[in-house]
Copies of this chain bind each other. A is one copy, B any other.
Amino acid sequence: MALDEIDKKILRLLQENAHYTLKDIANKINLSLTPVHDRVKRLEKEGVIEKYVSILNKKKLGNNLTVYCQVTLTKTTYDTSEGFNLSIMEMPEVVECNYVSGNFDYMLKIIIPDMESYHHFHQKKLSVLPEVSLINTVFVISEVKSTTVLPI
């Protein structure tokens, strides 16, 4: 399942725009429809292409605040982590959650309407979790870059 140059070209295009037609792609890489079709299906089947999604505008949906939460747990046992993870999975405001090395245990990214909503989230949803010991909030002042495009 090694990716050749043609696969990579297709992936680069699809990362840019999931609505490129097979014909668009075929034209851009000088191939006919068939190999493009077959390769895309293969890449989907192999899981290289995970899914096709729509990217919406945060602000137009009323989500004007982004924050990073650096969370420290009470204990570092498996059960504590798992309990925390399961709770996080249920929270739509949490768009990223990574277990990390360093002075704290988790780095979360939260997208939420405003400061008031964040206050509520912090006090009523996050800090009340039994696994959570400390929360350090880093507020985003301005978004410089945000992309789903991975280096290929």
Q: Which residues of A contact B (CB under 8 A)?
A: 1, 3, 11, 14-19, 46-58, 60-61, 63, 66, 68, 85, 88-89, 92-102, 106-107, 111-112, 138-152
Given A95-B150, A99-B142, A139-B100: A11 and B56 interface contact (C-beta under 8 Å): yes
Contacts of A53 in B (CB 8 A): 14-18, 52-55, 148-149
CB neighbours (8 Å) of A148 from chain B are 53, 55, 95, 148
Q: How many copies of this chain does one complex carry?
A: 2
Alpha-carbon distance A144/B81, docked complex (angstroms): 10
Chain B residues lying within 8 Å of A48, measured Cβ to Cβ, are 56-57, 60-61
Smallest Cβ-Cβ distance to A147: which chain B residue:
B95
Chain B residues near A102: list those with CB within 8 A.
138-139
Q: List 17 extra interface pairs beyond A53-B55, A98-B143, A111-B151, CB under 8 A.
A: A11-B61, A18-B18, A19-B52, A47-B57, A48-B57, A48-B61, A51-B55, A53-B54, A68-B100, A89-B144, A95-B146, A95-B149, A96-B146, A96-B147, A98-B144, A99-B142, A99-B143
